[in-house]
Amino acid sequence: MRRPHHPKHLLVLTFRLIKYFLLGLVGCTIAYVIALVFDLPLVSVVIVVFLEQVLARSLVVLGCLWAIAVISESTRY
């Protein structure tokens, strides 16, 4: 007998957040390269500080969320 399909809400949410995190990282990279090309040191410093503070911590949170999603989905069956 087949088991009923249970939607994996946490896993879907995690992958969606990872997608937007990577899109934000690409956007910051493009802005940083443009700031370097146009010789805007203040903008490039702000982007680097943002990457070090906000995105680094977001990466840790997303990693923990991903681990929780994988563990919870593997214990369902």
- On the question of pLDDT at 10 being above 60, the answer is yes
What pLDDT was estimated at residue 4?
A: 61
What is the Cα Rg of the chain in Å? Answer: 18
For the chain, what is the mean pLDDT?
87
Closest by CA position to 47, among listed 63, 62, 61, 26: 26
25: tokens are 């990282």
Q: How far apart are CA 21 and CA 39, in angstroms?
A: 27
Segment 42-57 mean pLDDT: 91
What pLDDT was estimated at residue 36?
A: 93
Which pTM value belongs to this model?
Answer: 0.77
What pLDDT was estimated at residue 11?
A: 86
